[in-house]
Amino acid sequence: MKKKTTVLFDFDGTIMDTNDIIVKSWQHTFRTLEGKERSVEEILATFGEPLHITMERILPGFDTDKAIEIYRSYQFNHYHELIELFPGMEKVITELKQEGYKLAVVTSRLRNSTETGLNKFDLTEYFDVIVTADDTKKHKPDPEPVLIALEKLGSNPQEAIMIGDSMFDVLCAQNAGVEAVLVSWAMATDAQGKLQEVKPEYVIEKAEELWTILR
């Protein structure tokens, strides 16, 4: 394996435990538009997919822009209080930076809320590049988000790894020629039935296990 110099992180479900706020935002949207909630399993299966794509697919009878506005309004009002870092993630990120790795966030979330989350835990300064849904025309699993991050970092695919929690992250990385690391602690890992068809190069159960791969 070529020595890795670059580590790309997904945001939701990987760095940040946003599971609760995402589920609650969806249930609020369903209650508002349909008058009832849906199963948590259905929501979890959408994790990692850009919001507008999911909205068009699972709420086809409603105006997508209106549905997104309902979802984001709820999330805006509750986001800061409900998000938390996954255990060990802060330590790993700071140590990677100290050892000279180039770091990036590659997420389907919008820039404002991504930076809000990173700023809450004083992590923004550790990332050389942040690529969000605002920065790409195509989204995961298309390779464009990862390729944009690599270009900005001055890295090639062979020297990078991508850490994520969903099939969208794994496929995005692999489609860009980057090795994928799937985290097993996120809810999306068990909820997306197609994950069994996706074969990441590595699976980790704790953030600290990333060092085993890099060394």
Q: How many whole angstroms separate alpha carbon 23 and alpha carbon 8?
A: 25
Query: Which CATH number fits the domain that encloses residue 62?
Result: 1.10.150.240
The 10s digit of each residue's pLDDT in 18-43 is 989 999 999 999 999 999 999 998 99
Q: Report which of residues 1 and 104 the model is more confident about.
A: 104
Q: Say if residue 25 is in the same domain as residue 71.
A: yes
Q: Cis peptide leading into 141, omega within 30 of 0?
A: yes
Q: What is the pLDDT of residue 189?
A: 56
Q: What is the pLDDT of residue 174?
A: 97
Q: Say if residue 181 is in the same domain as residue 116.
A: yes
Could you give the percent of the chain with pLDDT greater than 90? 85
Task: Enumerate helices (H) and strands (E) in the chain, giving the number of each.
Answer: 10, 8
The 10s digit of each residue's pLDDT in 121-154 is 999 999 999 999 999 999 999 999 999 999 999 9
Q: What is the pLDDT of residue 193?
A: 56
Domain around 61:
19-82
Count CA within 13 A, CB hemisphere, residue 143.
12
Quickly state the pLDDT bin for 185 (edges 50, 70, 90): confident
Q: Say if residue 118 is in the same domain as residue 207.
A: yes
Q: Say if residue 54 is in the same domain as residue 89.
A: no
The total of structural domains in the chain comes to 2
The residues facing 203 across adjacent strands are: 182
Taking residues 176-186, report their average pLDDT.
91
Taking residues 157-183, report their average pLDDT.
95
Q: Report which of residues 136 and 190 the model is more confident about.
A: 136
Q: Say if residue 103 is in the same domain as residue 69.
A: no
Secondary structure of residue 209 in the 3-state scheme: helix
Q: Say if residue 99 is in the same domain as residue 200.
A: yes
Taking residues 72-98, report their average pLDDT.
96
Q: Which of 60, 75, 23, 70 is nearest to 186 (CA)?
A: 23
The beta strands (E) that lie in 76-196 are given as: 84-85, 102-106, 129-131, 160-164, 179-183
Catalytically annotated residues? 10
Mean pLDDT (the chain) is 93
Contact indicator for 143, 172 with CB cutoff of 8 Å: yes
Estimate to the nearest angstrom the gap between the alpha carbon of 143 and the chain centroid: 14
Secondary structure of residue 10 in the 3-state scheme: coil
Q: Say if residue 23 is in the same domain as residue 75.
A: yes
Q: Report which of residues 116 and 191 the model is more confident about.
A: 116
The residues facing 167 across adjacent strands are: none
Q: What is the pLDDT of residue 32?
A: 98
From 82, 98, 129, the end of a domain falls on: 82
Taking residues 156-162, report their average pLDDT.
98
